[in-house]
Chain A
Amino acid sequence: MRFAVDAIRRRPGRSAATTVGIGLATALVVILLALSAGIQTSATRLATASGIDLLATSANTSIASGTFPPLGEAHSISSSLKGADGNVVAASPWLVTSLAYANASLYGAANASRNGTPVPPGWAPVAAGTVGWIPSANAGLKVPEPLVGPGFSSSGDPHYANGSYAGPVTRETEVDQGLASLLHVAPGDLLWVSDRSASGPSDLPHWFANASAFRIAAVTQPFWLIPSALLGFFYLSELQALTGSAGPGKDYASLVLVHLSDPTNPSSDQALLGREFPSLSFFTIGNVLTVVQQSVDLYRTFGTIVGVIALVVATLFTTTILLMSVEDRSRELALLRAVGFSRSRVGLFVVEEGFLLAGIGLVLGLALGWVGATTLNQFLDGLVNGLPAGFTFLSFDATVVIGGAVEVALIGVFASLGPAARAMTLPIAAELRAP
Chain B
Amino acid sequence: MTKSDVTRRNVTVRLSNGLHMVPCSEIAKLAAQSSASVRILGNDVTADAKSVLDLLQLKAEFGTELIVEAEGEEGPATVRGIVRLFETNFEPARDQPDPASTDTALP
Do these two chains really belong together in a complex?
no
Binding site for A on B (CB under 8 A): none
Binding site for B on A (CB under 8 A): none
